[in-house]
């Protein structure tokens, strides 16, 4: 199985590398951006609103609790890394766009 460049398996689950585009018309995955998966989010990058929107979207996408989705890097950047704890690579690949 080939692992996409934006996914990394870690002991706690997976790390998902995202390129976040704030102030979009809707929150959704939008293909690749370099070696990251692009995620468009509605809120602007003000007071952590875009980060919260990413977390909420990933919680629903992977059907995990809010505490299972942790922003590991990129608090003030468009390039972010989220840990999604407690899921397998197979599960992650099944829930991500093809």
Domain ranges for the chain: 7-86
* Choices 3.90.79.10, 3.30.1200.10, 3.30.413.10, 3.40.30.10: CATH for 7-86: 3.30.1200.10
DSSP-assigned beta bridge partners for residue 10: 13
Q: What is the pLDDT of residues 36-88, one digit of tens each?
A: 999 999 999 999 999 999 999 999 999 999 999 999 999 999 999 999 999 99
Please work out, in degrees rounded to the nearest 5, the angle formed at the alpha carbon of residue 87 by the alpha carbons of 76 and 77.
10
* Nearest in space to 72 (alpha carbons), one of 25, 30, 15, 6: 15
pLDDT of amino acid 98: 78
Average pLDDT, the chain: 96
Tell me what pLDDT residue 2 has: 84
């Amino acid at each position: 199985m080939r692992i996409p460049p934006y996914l990394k398996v870690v002991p706690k689950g997976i790390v998902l590398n995202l390129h976040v585009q704030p102030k979009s018309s809707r929150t959704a995955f939008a293909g690749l951006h370099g070696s990251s998966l692009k995620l468009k989010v509605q809120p602007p990058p003000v007071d952590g609103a875009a980060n919260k929107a990413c977390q909420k979207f990933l919680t629903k996408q992977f059907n995990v609790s809010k505490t299972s989705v942790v922003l590991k890097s990129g608090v003030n950047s468009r390039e972010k890394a989220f840990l999604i704890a407690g899921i397998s690579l197979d599960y992650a690949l099944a829930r991500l766009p093809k």
